[in-house]
Each structure stands twice: as C-alpha cells, then as structure tokens.
A and B are shown apart, each in its own frame.
Chain A
Amino acid sequence: MSTTTVSQLDKVKDGPWNGGRSPWNLEYGKIMMWFFLVSDTFTFSAFLIVYGAQKFAQPTWIDADKVFQSIPGIAESGQPLVFVGIMTFILIMSSVTMVLAVDAGHRNKKNEVVKWMLWTILGGLCFIGCQAIEWSHLHHQGFWFGTTPATGLEGEAVAEALAPYFTKDIAYTAALQFANMFFTITGFHGLHVSIGILLNIIVLFKTLNNTFERSGSYLMVEKVGLYWHFVDLVWVFVFTFFYLI
C-alpha cells in the first residue's frame, strides 16, 4: 500500500505545464515579441478609435478622396487612392519577402535569407520614401500638426481655403482634427516602419556575419519577421480608416 503511494509521488510528471520546458513549445524571446505586439495593438487601436470618435462627434468631416488625389510625378489631381494603393502593395510585398526569409532560415539557407532580407529592406525603404512624399505633399497644401490651409484666415476666407477638401459642410475643426490625427497616426506607424528597417538591417548583418549559422538557428529572423508583419497589419487598418472610409 505504502509502496504504491511512494511510487505515485516519485513518478516524473511530464505534462506541458510541469516545468523544464516551454509549455507552448516557443522560445522565450519569441513569446516576448508576441506580448509586445499585443500591447502595441492596444496603442494603435486607441489612436484609431479616437479618430473614429472624432468623426462621430464632428457635424461634418473632410473627404479623404479630395485630400489625397495626386500621384507624384504623374498626376497632380483627380487620382484618389492610386498612390496609397502603390504604398499598400509595396508593404504587402515586403511582408511576403519577409516570410520567404523566415522560410529560408528554417532550411538554414544563408544566401537565400540574405537575398530576401535585402528585398524586405528595399520594400521598407520604398514605403517610407512614399510616406515622406505624401507628408510633404500634404504639408505644401498647408496641413501640418495643428495647422490647416485655413489657419490664420477669418470669415468667408476659411470656407474658401477649405472648400477643395470637403464634399459635405465645411468646418475648420474637422480639417484641423483630421490633420492632427493623420500626421500623428501615420507618423507613429512610420516610426514603426523605420525601427523595423533598422532591425532588418541588423539581422541582415548578423546573417552575413554567420552569427545564426554558428548558433544553428535563424530564430532571430523569425522574431524580427513578426514585428515586420505587425507593421504591415497596422497599415491595413490605417489604410481602411484614413483612405477608404
């Protein structure tokens, strides 16, 4: 009787939650990257939800199709969504090259990892370049943090200056809130893209240095990849709420 009790206690527990290994079969750093991204989701959600709340609270709102209607170097006006479409395509494309880099890492193919990381970095740089063009175009029209084309004007001149950007009623506050939110949210996203490019470059150099080849695992490519896909994910939402709706 007592012997069976002892052997029950001595029996080594080997369930996933009994210690000695990761219950999720995931490496610590990768879990932490996921948890960081979940927290970042809340940051971006808060931004976009406040944008939505402003739209609900204002009696009128700016028409995005009239604010963004140029294709740099091709058309000055009349082409809404085309340029941002190109930007969206670039970011989705760079997300695909990132997965291909991760995939090459799983097969321990160093040269392929280098190739796909280079394409990913190039995609990121193209995107941030387009973003810079978009910002400077809007800035030249008179929009900036706390500024609209009608800032400093009074009376009828305000409506006149803002008329090109509205389809519904014209309001200074709506234009101002739109400008503030646009530059804050796309700016915060652009900061994420920039950090992502930096991380990708670091990982590229580590790959070239054979750091991952020596350790036998390209897990770091995967972790940076998670971050990069998240940046793409955020853009999907920014695109919908700023440009489509």
Chain B
Amino acid sequence: MSHHNENIAATHGHEEHGGMDKAGIWKVFFILLALTALEFLIALGFVHHWGMIEKGIVLNIVYIVLTLAKAYYIVAYFMHLKFEKSGFIVCCSVGLILIVYFIVLVLIEGDYLLDAFQSHPVFPNN
C-alpha cells in the first residue's frame, strides 16, 4: 500500500495534469481579471459615475452571476477540479445543494421577520 502511494505521488505530475499548462493558467487569469473589471465598470462607471443603472434586484443578480462565474473558473481550473475523476467532482459538489436550500430558507425567514415586526407593533405592558 505504501509502495503504491509513492507510485501515485511520483507519477502524478506526468499523468494527470495535461489540462493546465502555463498558457492555460494565464488565460484563466485574464478571464478572472476581465470578470472583475466588468464588475468594477458596472459599479464605478454605470452606477456610481454616470448614474445609468439603479441599484436593485436585477443588478444584484448580475453581480451574483459574475461572482459564480469567477468561482467556477477558480475551482475548475486553479483548483484543478475539472480534471479530477467525475466521482470525486460529484462527491465534492453535491453537498453544496444544501447551501441553496439554506439560502432560500433563511432569506424567506428574514423577509417574514421584517414584515412581522413592522405590521405587528410591540405593546407596552403596564
């Protein structure tokens, strides 16, 4: 077993890493940079400076989509997950569905609390 582990370690670099060479690394960097620059263009340019876009739910969705795109490139290419075995990719990502569930649950709860506190006042007890 220990012999085999050494084997994996020794041959690892030569078998598994065809996906990312130096040109690939810089390409991903420029994609990340472009996505970040786009966020700044929207936030500083269109919203803050020129006042062409209002802050709101649509803009927030745009920001979140750009963020998830960046997250994908970091995890898939920098962390190399895209080039692992499919079983491992599923193993590491399937649990994240619970986070989506958690977001929906807690944000609904927060929204409800706002409404409840505002429409039902606290009465002094004396």
Residues of A at the B interface (CB closer than 8 Å) are: 16, 20-28, 31, 34-35, 38, 41-42, 45-46, 49-50, 52-59, 65, 80-82, 85, 88-89, 92, 95-96, 98-100, 103, 105-108, 215-219, 225-226, 229-230, 232-233, 236-237, 240, 244-245
Q: Give the complex CA separation of A105 and B20 in angstroms.
A: 13
- B53 CB–A CB distance under 8 Å: no
**Interface of chain A, main secondary structure:** helix
Within 8 A of A (CB), among B48-105: 48, 60, 63-64, 66-67, 70-71, 74-75, 78-79, 84-85, 87-88, 92, 95-96, 98-99, 102-103
Question: A45 near B13 (CB under 8 angstroms)?
Answer: no
Residues of chain A lying within 8 A (CB to CB) of residue B110: 52-57
Question: A96 near B25 (CB under 8 angstroms)?
Answer: yes
- Which listed residue (A38, A217, A244) contacts B13, Cβ 8 A? A217
Question: A99 near B20 (CB under 8 angstroms)?
Answer: yes
Within 8 A of A (CB), among B36-58: 36, 39-40, 43-44, 48
Residues of chain A lying within 8 A (CB to CB) of residue B85: 16, 23-26
Q: How far is the CB of A37 from chain B (nearest CB, A)?
A: 8
Question: A52 near B36 (CB under 8 angstroms)?
Answer: no
Residues of B at the A interface (CB closer than 8 Å) are: 1, 4-6, 8-10, 12-17, 20-22, 25-26, 29, 32-33, 36, 39-40, 43-44, 48, 60, 63-64, 66-67, 70-71, 74-75, 78-79, 84-85, 87-88, 92, 95-96, 98-99, 102-103, 106-107, 109-111, 113-114, 117-118
Q: Report, nearest first, the 5 A-B pairs whose CB atoms are least far apart.
A: A56-B110, A53-B110, A106-B13, A57-B110, A217-B9
Residues of chain B lying within 8 A (CB to CB) of residue A23: 85, 87
Q: List 26 A-B contacts (CB under 8 A).
A: A23-B87, A24-B87, A27-B12, A42-B99, A46-B102, A49-B102, A54-B110, A56-B107, A57-B113, A57-B117, A59-B118, A80-B43, A80-B48, A81-B40, A92-B32, A95-B74, A95-B78, A103-B22, A108-B13, A215-B9, A217-B13, A219-B9, A233-B79, A236-B70, A237-B71, A240-B64
